[in-house]
Amino acid sequence: MEEHQKMEEHQKQTSDHPKKKDNSDRFWKITTGVVIVLLAFFMFKEGYFGNGSNNNAATGQAVAAPDAPSPTVDMKALLDDDTVKGDLDAPVTIIEWSDFECPFCGRFYTDTLSLIEKEYIDTGKVKLVYRDFPLSFHANAQKAAEAAECAGEQGKYWEMHDKLFENGVSGGVTSFKQYANDLGLKTTEFNKCLDSGQMASEVRKDFADGSAAGIQGTPGFLVNGQLISGAQPFSVFKQVIDSALN
């Protein structure tokens, strides 16, 4: 009888053991999961998972401007022979690398450029240079850039620049030729320039110079040597320009 009771107790202990182990494993799995979630939350809050400059530039996400600009590039060397908007002797130079097919470049054009023009370019404090940075996954960006350069050969670079941003580039070369006609350009000369790829090397040089200067996406800017990435609001440009003027 005693022997039978001992066997029953042994069987009970044996059957209870896996239950205790399962409960213990479940507890530690839940605890570990909670700790991981909390760590991820605080790391994200502190910025450990922030986007890199490449993503910010390409998507136009806001990045706080540094407190004080510190020129690190030769701005004069980067001016090339591109058309300048504003006073050539303006104390602050903005070089913009952009893509006519980029929606964030379009946002800068519609939301910010006019404010910069009114407060700084029209008052002789800033000059703006647009340089091409057509992204490979934008099918019409390269020829749109060439179209602007071809228009520039007839003294209407900025007019074509505005037309491309306002009317879009989805129609490709056919649309660019129509824009040239709308602007009163000599269409035979413009069409020959565009069809021959005469300006392709100029566009490639702009892209190469931008890459060398640290531009990784569009739009990208240098303001007296200070890099600004993405379609930033006017306040960001104002901060950097005012610092440069002072």
pLDDT score of 44: 37
In the predicted structure, residue 16 carries a pLDDT above the cut 70: no
Bridge partners of residue 85, in order along the sequence: 128
In the predicted structure, residue 57 carries a pLDDT above the cut 70: no
Rounded Cα gap, residues 183 and 148, in angstroms: 12
In the predicted structure, residue 134 carries a pLDDT above the cut 70: yes
pTM over 0.85: no
Q: Is the model more confident about 130 or about 77?
A: 130
Q: Is 142 helix (H, G, I), strand (E, B) or coil?
A: helix
Q: Is 94 helix (H, G, I), strand (E, B) or coil?
A: strand
Question: Residue 80 half-sphere exposure, CB side, CA atoms within 13 Å?
Answer: 20
In the predicted structure, residue 102 carries a pLDDT above the cut 50: yes
Strand ranges in the chain using DSSP code E only, listed in sequence order: 84-85, 92-98, 126-132, 220-223, 226-229
Name the CATH topology of 53-245.
Glutaredoxin (3.40.30)
Q: Is the model more confident about 62 or about 90?
A: 90
Lowest mean pLDDT among 21-35, 106-120, 193-207, 223-237: 21-35
Which candidate, 110, 100, 156, 104, places its Cα nearest to that of 132? 100
In the predicted structure, residue 37 carries a pLDDT above the cut 50: no
Q: Give the model's confidence band at 41: pLDDT under 50 very low, under 70 low, under 90 confident, else very high.
A: very low
Instruction: DSSP letter for 218, please.
Output: S
Q: Is the model more confident about 117 or about 32?
A: 117
Residue type, 104: F
- What pLDDT digit, counting tens, does each position of 168-197 carry? 999 999 999 999 999 999 999 999 999 999
User: In this prediction, what percent of the chain has a pLDDT beyond 90?
Assistant: 66
pLDDT score of 144: 98
Cα angle: 216, vertex 219, 79; to 5 degrees: 85
Region 74-79: mean pLDDT is: 73
In the predicted structure, residue 47 carries a pLDDT above the cut 50: no
Residues 6+ apart with CB under 8 A from 245: 91, 92, 125
pLDDT score of 23: 55
Region 93-100: mean pLDDT is: 97
pLDDT score of 75: 74
Lowest mean pLDDT among 70-84, 92-106, 113-127, 138-152: 70-84
Q: Is 132 helix (H, G, I), strand (E, B) or coil?
A: strand
Q: Is the model more confident about 81 or about 84?
A: 84
Token pair recorded at residue 185: 């350009």
pLDDT score of 22: 54
pLDDT score of 71: 43
Region 144-168: mean pLDDT is: 98
